[in-house]
Structure 1
Amino acid sequence: MSAEASSSRYTAVAIALHWAMAALLLFMIWLGWNMEENEARFQLHKSIGITVLFLALARLAWRFTNPPPPLPEAMPKLEKTASHAVHIAFYALMIGIPLGGWLLVSVSPFQVATVLYGIVSWPHLPFTEGLISEDLYEIVEFFHSKGAWVIIGLLALHVAGAAKHEFGAEDGVLKRMLPGLFGRPNPPTLPARGFMFAFGGSAALFAVIAVASLLSAGPASSGPAPSGTGLVGANWKVDYNASQIRFSGLYEGNGFDGTFGAWVADVAFYPEALETSAVKVVVDAGSASTGKKLYDDSLKGREWFNIAEYPEATVELGGFSEAAGGYSATATLTLKGKPVSVPLNFTLDISGDEARLEGLVKFSRKALDLGQGSDPGGKWISDEVTVTISGRATRTR
């Protein structure tokens, strides 16, 4: 073995990955200990965890195509074995802990959506749909959280070993990963190869999973639902461009609101014969938009609208009567196959064959079975959800 080979420095890519991942892992540990009841930190923790996972895969592939320089010849065999064992453990944890976190989110009864850095929707692990339970969640959470302490222990061993050999009598190793220390000249750098294999492969795998998540969510809805409601006797045509269904509530004491972008309504309304009037609305549940991707993805999940099993919700209005300042009716919302009826008050301004409507109705999340696994008591999200309806329509007969 030549002296040059034994003192060669790691490739620039290996050095960059080493320090970048060290910083990310330390930050991840801090986040894990300081994200209680903090949505932004929780999502950032998940985002960095997935980043670490794919960087670790790239780093492992890079190590395969670019073997590290050999350890100093003067290093005792037992210490070389320990050094190799620590590196193997590091790779196992850099891959295993993020995978454990991914599994933890996937089997959690809360079923909180993951949106990487607020941009990329990330799916739950595909084989976990039937494994969601509090017991499994607690087991996975135990091992996931204890992994942080294992990493801290390995970091301590790693740093202590590097310092020992840097300041010891044998040829040091730290200068090969952090050049220029202690006034020593930079040793030669090993040639690099296999960049596309390492980073292209990791990026391709990431893209496949992200695209699969996007495709499984289905196309975004941007207009009225394609099919009618089947209501007989409709005599008003809704102007969808001038009509809107909004919902609002409180999250951590702050207001939030959103709209449904795709819905269709058949209106049979006769002011002179209210007893024969009826309205039916079919809403594309997956078209809910709040302006925040995390909320939109969460609403589509099993815990909320569960659009995979119940892509549509229906609202039927009946029992119309005149009320102070307008009209009242009974609104029956069928969501996830369960009907819930509440009173609806609305105003209706009819001028010739043109009508303008404004209405408001309030629902209970508990009654609608929304978010009852993650927040049944309304600790974070208010139980009361307000739905407001505004619109215009033209009489057809």
Structure 2
Amino acid sequence: MQRYSLVAIILHWAIAALLAFQISVGWALEDLGARGFALYQWHKSVGITILLLTLLRIVMRYWKPRPPKLEGGWQGALASAVHGGLYAFMLGAPLTGWALVSTAKVKVPTLLFGVLPLPHLPLPASAHDLAEGGHGLIAWLGIALFLLHVAGALRHHFLMRDGLIWRMIPGRSTLLLIALPALILLGLVVGQAILPGAAPQMAAPVEAPEVTENIAEPVNLVEAAPDNAASNAAEAAPEEPVGPPPAWTVQPGGTIGFTVGNDGQTISGSFAKWTAEILMDPDHPDSADIKVSIDMASASVGDAYQDGMLPGDEFFAVASHPTATFTAKGAEKTGTNTYRATGTLSLKGVTKPQTIRFTLTGDGATRKVAGTATIARSAFGVGNGQSSGGLAPQVKLSFAFTARQKD
């Protein structure tokens, strides 16, 4: 029986094993968040490898034509359609994945196997949804074609017993007949084995919460002069508090979110881990003592590619500066239930003046807090690389939580 060329056989089993790896890894990528960043890089690297091997396989088909078909009729037509679909899958999946990465809001650099940079395709950002949908659809169709191809091979070998599979085995070796198909199983096993271990999931990104009309627009102290309320407060003698300000405990379910413009679009994210120490008498805010600490490693924008970049030196430099801290001694009332606190923000090893504005609603021992701030990211060295060129200079921060007065 005429066999495929040795090069075609090697390419066939290599691509099959790599496809099995991609399928195995693909099941889990969407649920990994930032933990899957390194795996995404591998997924992209293997995808481009499959693309290159498929192009080589196509060249080989014309250089050394495949053996003649053994089956005609509708069965032969189905087999040819499955083969054609597999080639479309092996070309389309990597290309749509490449397009997806190239049109993402934040351009994440791709290093193939950590060495060779892969340039982004010159596609408009508007193509991102199409690329993302196409990549997912092609992946599912590819899995179906992959299974049909395997089922067809098993049918020929065990039911028809026509020896078709030997055309893809270099020599009539039982050992190779077992070992080569086992590469597919190996690809599936390796894909599962390198998945990151279970870890707490990051909070989903949150949009900036709505705030009441009484809240003034967020102001960065570095960039804005004091308004009339601040001037009047400076001239007036502060009221003496009745007693020490009460302490408040933040209840579960609070959020700290952020948004930043990026080439006409908006990136929204949140911090899953943070703590707040609050001493404040709403009637005598000048005695307030506020400290908020944010775990920067818990930042997420809901996209594993982008989440993987946030801990790096270009953005938060989590390894050397794992925590951002806002502290303020005293606050001032700016309207009915509205306040402003001026303090300092320490982020990425830099400490700068910062103002936050917030409202308190409710009464008694439980208050709802909602507020905003605007942070000049460049002052803290956040977003200082090539992939940050489209980011707006101001990052809008929003927070909302419930606080209960300690007994």
TM-score, normalising length from structure 2? 0.49
Deviations 1:183-242 (A, max 9, x none): xxx99724434226644555555555553xx68xx754569xxxxxxxx9761111122x
Q: Find 1:9's aligned residue among 4, 7, 12.
A: 4
Cα distance, 1:113 vs structure 2 = 6.3
Q: 1:396: which partner in 2?
A: 406
Give the gaps of 5 or more residues in structure 1.
22-42, 58-68, 70-109, 115-121, 129-139, 146-185, 224-231
What secondary structure is seen at the aligned counterpart in 1 of 2:314?
Answer: coil
Asked if structure 2 preserves the Cα contact closer than 8 Å seen for 1:111 and 1:302, the reply is no
Q: Secondary structure at the match of 1:194?
A: helix
Q: Return the alpha-carbon distance in structure 2 between the equivalents of residues 188 and 238 of structure 1.
A: 68
Check if 1:258 corresponds to 2:269. Answer: yes
Q: How many residues align?
A: 246
Alignment match, 2:160: none
- 1:349 corresponding residue in structure 2: 361
**What amino acid is the match of 2:3?**
S
Q: Helix, strand or coil for the counterpart of 1:380?
A: coil
Q: Secondary structure at the match of 2:251?
A: strand
> 2:191 matched to 1:195?
no
Match of 1:323 in 2: 334
Task: Answer 1 or 2: higher relative contact order, Cα 8 Å, separation at least 6.
Answer: 2
CA distance in 2, matches of 1:246, 1:222: 10
Confirm or deny that 1:239 pairs with 2:224.
no
Question: Corresponding residue for 1:387?
Answer: 397
Aligned match of 2:57: none
State the TM-score, normalized to the length of structure 1: 0.50
The 2-side partners of 1:201 and 1:344 are apart by 55
Task: State the AA in 2 paired with 1:388.
Answer: S
Classify 1:234/1:199 alpha carbon distance in 2 versus 1 (closer, same or farther; 3 Å). Answer: farther
- Aligned mates of 1:310, 1:206 — CA distance in 2: 33
What is residue 151 of structure 1 aligned with on the other side? none
- For residues 278 and 17 of structure 1, do their structure 2 counterparts lie closer, same or farther at Cα, with a shift above 3 Å needed? same
Selected match of 1:50 from 39, 46, 49: 46
For residues 255 and 165 of structure 2, the distance between their equivalents in structure 1, rounded to whole angstroms, comes to 68
Distance 1:259 1:354 in 2: 24
> Percent same amino acid at aligned positions?
22
C-alpha separation in 2, matches of 1:316 and 1:187: 71
CA RMSD, Structure 1 to Structure 2 (Å): 4.5
Distance in 1 separating the partners of 2:107 and 2:113: 9
Change (3 A) 1:111 1:291: closer
Tell me how far 1:265 sits from its aligned partner: 0.9
Q: Does 1:297 align with 2:308?
A: yes
CA deviations over 1:307-350 (Å, ceiling 9, x no partner): 22322222212341121342111142222222222221212224
Aligned to 2:214: none
Give the conservation status (yes or no) of the 8 Å contact 1:54–1:202: no
- 2:156 is matched with none
Cα distance, 1:293 vs structure 2: 1.9
